[in-house]
Amino acid sequence: MRVEQATPEQYEALIALGVARNRHLTGSDAGWQLMVPETWPGLVALKAVRGDGTTLGYGWITRGTHLPPGWAVEWLTVAEGAEGCGVGSALHRALSSRTPAGTTLMTSRVFDDEPRSLAVARHWGYEVEELSIESALPLVDLPEPLPPSGVELEACDDLRVPDQAAFDAMLRASQTNPEAVRGGRYVTAASLLSSSQGARSVGVLARVDGRPAAIAQGTVVGEDFFIAYTGVDPVHRGRGLALMVKMEAHRRAAAAGATLCLTENEEHNRGIRAVNAALGYEVRHGTYRLRRTLP
């Protein structure tokens, strides 16, 4: 077995390997880092190859333009049937030697039905930051939101508004999720618009008395609508704004051709998970978000 640099021409095959190995992984999710290089500068992609040329696994390490300084991301996939043969360890060692200069925090993730992978990640020094729950909603028979007096819903696909400073302040204030609190609020308009090729952005902004108060934003890829973020300024919580912006986002995504909505939320985020339950979402699986502090 040898570890070698993967070329862009090989990325589609690597994405297919990842989707085949990880039953919860979608092609757009697996391909974001590999196929949208402008969002992931300095990407290093490696593959492990047997003597006959068979790919046994692959991995990458990169920074993200939307992440705080010093943060990097690592991902590994070992092909089915090649586990337990040192493939993952070889890829991890090779990627570790190519860690971007100045990296202080490495992040990764493991699906919650992969206990062996979680044990390996912990052996490498990763710790669990949170368990993120994926839920799904078929986009059929969608109710229309009915905003009360003083509340307006508007399309905001490009996340650009005349009062941009107020919008950005709302976006920062809305980030009270654990990873944002511990690591800095890093969801920005630019990061939410980053997506795989062929994706269409769908955003809905709620205004209260004319000022930005809540946002739901995601991307339509094929027939799937991925909600990347739903946030409400804390001063406006408890008014049903998250429910309304998600309802409107569902309707606009369905009009764009989506038939299924997918979203992820931290397991202890009772507020948004209650919103999802009220809208009819069903839980699919969980993903452990991992972090490892570097010297």
Give the chain's largest Cα–Cα span: 68
Summarize the confidence of residues 196-203 as an average pLDDT: 77
Q: Is the pLDDT higher at 129 or at 249? A: 249
Q: Is the pLDDT higher at 80 or at 189? A: 80
Residue 292 β-bridge partners? 106
Q: How many angstroms separate the first and last alpha carbons of the chain? A: 30
The reported pLDDT for the residue numbered 181 is 56
State the DSSP string of the chain: -EEEEPPGGGHHHHHHHHHHH-TT--HHHHHHHHH-GGGSTT-EEEEEE-TTS-EEEEEEEE--TTSPTTEEEEEEEE-TT-TTTTHHHHHHHHHHTTPPTT--EEEEEEETT-HHHHHHHHHTT-EEEEEEEEEEEE--SPPPP---TTEEEEE-TT---TTHHHHHHHHHHT--SHHHHHH-----HHHHH---TT-EEEEEEEEETTEEEEEEEEEEETTEEEEEEEEE-GGGTTSSHHHHHHHHHHHHHHHTT--EEEEEEETT-HHHHHHHHHHT-EEEEEEEEEEEE--
Structure tokens at 129: 């930051």
The reported pLDDT for the residue numbered 156 is 94
Report the candidate in 262, 193, 227, 264 with the shortest Cα–Cα distance to residue 36. 193
- For residue range 206-230, list pLDDT tens digits in order: 999 999 999 999 989 889 999 989 9
pTM over 0.95: no
Structure tokens at 253: 């995504």
Summarize the confidence of residues 117-130 as an average pLDDT: 95
Summarize the confidence of residues 265-276 as an average pLDDT: 89
CA 220 to CA 288: how far, in whole Å? 24
- For residue range 84-122, list pLDDT tens digits in order: 889 999 999 999 999 999 999 999 999 999 999 999 999
Q: What percent of the chain has pLDDT over 90?
A: 69
The reported pLDDT for the residue numbered 231 is 92
Q: Give me the chain's average pLDDT, please.
A: 90
CA 45 to CA 60: how far, in whole Å? 4
The reported pLDDT for the residue numbered 191 is 61
Residue 36 β-bridge partners? none
Question: How does residue 182 score in pLDDT terms, banded at 50, 70 and 90?
Answer: low
The reported pLDDT for the residue numbered 68 is 81
pLDDT of residue 185 exceeding 60, the answer is: no
The reported pLDDT for the residue numbered 222 is 84
- For residue range 24-74, list pLDDT tens digits in order: 888 777 887 888 777 788 899 999 999 898 999 999 999 987 778 899 999
